[in-house]
A = this chain, B = another copy of it.
Amino acid sequence: MLKLTSMAFTPRPFRAVALVGNFTDTRVIESMQTLAAHLHGRSRCVIVDAASTVDFGAVPVRRVNEQALGTGVEARTPSDSEVELIVAIGGDGTMLHAARLAAPHGVPVLGVNRGRLGFLADIGPSDMRDRLDEVLQGSYVEDRRTMLQAQLQRGNQPVSQCHALNDVVLQKWQTGRMLDFETWIDDRYVNTHGGDGLVIATATGSTAYALSCGGPIVYPGLDALVLAPICPHTLSDRPIIVPGTARIEVRLVERIDTRAQITCDGVSLGEVLPGDRLLVTPASIGVTLLHPSGHDYFRILRSKLRWGRGDRTHPEPDTE
């Protein structure tokens, strides 16, 4: 059975809630102010990034360093009000950012979108207070998403590493020339690719950059990875789907004008040199997304991909 989500039997109290978002976007600021007041009215402690200049008026908020938003406590400061929920306000990019803050601490993330629904942030601004109330009262579904760990090795020494919820991407950088690189899966040689790079995406990331590269949609309940070549030189160099437990290794081959970078969820991990190895493995951490009850992955998919509109009919009206 497809089982994406399950009801929490022991609802979490969510006593302290961190608000995360791009505080230079006025729509985000307005939602933040509304939600802070609402949470305060529900006797929740509100925590925000100390760097934020958002004016919350009379609403008391606790300001901590951004890196402490996942816990609500600055390093080594004991506290009885640790963050129990992060509300991310913005698009899927904000969700990715919040996931990186939340994942190491096991704090769940709820996404509020500014405009159109996102794949990850599926609460709209119009009914965000009602939806938040439902969640505070324990009516929600939990949606556990796996993450990837990427490590860049040079001369068999780790140079840098990071986590990704969507994807780890090896891509050409500051060059109009293609890359040559080899792929290995669980120590088995797969292919030598020429092209603009390679996307290694989780099921979550399958609807992001990997989709633009010709990859398929992977149902989030399936623990699998997409290896999607970016603009491959060889036309039969097609996306490959492997178990989520696979260990992917990519080696950059020496070539004229090779310049490449690795990014994790769009954030640069650093430059890759010929001979360097990128290792991608399942991360030991993951992130738990919360959705309102009635969450339907396929409804979001239909909305985002503009399926089932126009001259087509289907039994269940899209109310998106």
- Tell me the A residues contacting B by CB distance below 8 Å: 1-2, 115-116, 169, 171, 173-174, 176-177, 180, 182, 185-186, 188-192, 194-196, 206, 209, 211-219, 221-222, 224, 226, 230-243, 245-247, 261, 263, 266-268, 296, 298, 301-302, 305-316
Contacts and interface: CB of A to CB of B under 8 A. Distances in A.
Given A191-B308, A216-B238, A231-B231, A261 B176 contact: yes
Quick one: which of A234, A261, A266 has the most chain B CB within 10 A? A234
B190 A298 contact: yes
8 contacts: A2-B246, A116-B310, A116-B311, A192-B314, A212-B235, A216-B239, A222-B242, A235-B235
A196 to B, nearest CB: 8
Given A169-B176, A190-B298, 6 more contacts: A1-B245, A190-B301, A211-B238, A235-B236, A306-B306, A306-B309
A112 to B, nearest CB: 16
A124 to B, nearest CB: 14
Contacts of A236: 235-236, 305-307
Contact of A314 (B182, B217, B222, B230): B182
B241 A177 contact: no
B298 A189 contact: yes
A247 B219 CA distance: 13
A176 B241 contact: no
A219 B237 contact: no
A174 B259 CA distance: 10
Given A2-B246, A316-B189, A176 B171 contact: yes
